[in-house]
């Protein structure tokens, strides 16, 4: 048995029939074919599946698809425009803050959410903002430097406030 849900992903409205046990992560990847959001641990520990749900970052492996009915979702596919990368993406490339890339989508989404909430974070605030995003190859120093650089490049304030969902 499935439930029909409606959600907006990166500004585009979708109607999807989802099984009650399917996660938002599964809906995004398997039904909407947005595979930029990665599945690492499936237990809410690694942050690879981070998306912004109604203005708050969530680990989409812990959110049921039916819970997202009526929601607004931003995934990594919605961070850049067709013309240009987001300053966080540019800075991570420039700083060499990516190796295998498996964690990168989640790190970028969390970083963008952090900068939307706090446009001039200190290194400690960046560390705290990315505490839920694990990286097993690059480490964190270059990522923190990249987010610091991106903050300097972003001239105007955030389009909207976002915060961590507890
Ligand atoms: S896959 Fe969701 S937190 Fe790891
Ligand atoms: S770049 Fe490989 S896990 Fe982070």
Q: Whose CA is nearest to atom 3 of ligand 1?
A: 44
* Entry pTM: 0.92
Ligand 2 lined by 140 (C-beta under 6 Å): no
Ligand 2 lined by 107 (C-beta under 6 Å): no
Give pLDDT tens digits for 114-124. 999 999 999 99
Please tell me the distance from the alpha carbon of residue 33 to that of residue 90, in angstroms, as a whole number.
25
Q: Pairing between strand 56-59 and 50-53?
A: antiparallel
Nearest ligand, CA 42: 1
For ligand 1, the distance from its centroid to the CA atom of residue 37, given in whole angstroms, is: 10
User: Position of tokens 């507890």?
Assistant: 166
Give pLDDT tens digits for 130-141. 999 999 999 999
Ligand 2 atom, smallest distance to 138 CA: 1
Ligand 2 lined by 41 (C-beta under 6 Å): no
CATH topology for 87-157 is DNA polymerase; domain 1 (1.10.150)
Please tell me the distance from the alpha carbon of residue 46 to that of residue 103, in angstroms, as a whole number.
8
The CA-atom distances, in angstroms, between 158 and each of 12, 25, 46, 114 are 21, 25, 26, 10
CATH topology for 3-78 is Ubiquitin-like (UB roll) (3.10.20)
Q: Where in the chain is the domain with CATH 3.10.20.30?
A: 3-78
Q: Where in the chain is the domain with CATH 1.10.150.120?
A: 87-157
For ligand 2, the distance from its centroid to the CA atom of residue 138, given in whole angstroms, is: 5
Higher pLDDT, 161 or 149: 149
Residue pair 98/88 in contact by the 8 Å Cβ criterion? no
User: Position of tokens 């969902």?
Assistant: 165
Ligand 2 lined by 130 (C-beta under 6 Å): no
Please tell me the distance from the alpha carbon of residue 145 to that of residue 97, in angstroms, as a whole number.
9
Give pLDDT tens digits for 75-128. 999 999 889 999 999 999 999 999 999 999 999 999 999 999 999 999 999 999
- pLDDT above 70 for 27: yes
- Residue 156, pLDDT score: 55
């Amino acid at each position: 048995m499935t439930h029909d849900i409606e959600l907006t992903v990166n500004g585009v409205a979708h109607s999807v029939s989802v099984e009650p046990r399917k996660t938002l992560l599964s809906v995004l990847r398997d039904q909407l074919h947005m595979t930029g959001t990665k599945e690492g641990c499936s237990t809410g520990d690694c942050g690879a599946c981070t998306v912004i749900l109604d203005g708050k970052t969530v680990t989409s492996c812990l959110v049921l698809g039916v819970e997202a009915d009526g929601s607004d979702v931003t995934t990594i596919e919605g961070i850049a425009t067709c013309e240009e990368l987001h300053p966080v993406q540019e800075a991570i490339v420039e700083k060499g803050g990516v190796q295998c890339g498996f964690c990168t989508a989640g790190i970028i989404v969390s970083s963008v959410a952090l900068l939307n909430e706090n446009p001039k974070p200190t290194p400690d605030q960046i560390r705290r903002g990315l505490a839920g995003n694990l990286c097993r190859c690059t480490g964190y120093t270059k990522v923190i430097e990249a987010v610091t650089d991106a903050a300097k490049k972003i001239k105007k304030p955030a389009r909207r406030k976002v915060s961590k969902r507890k």
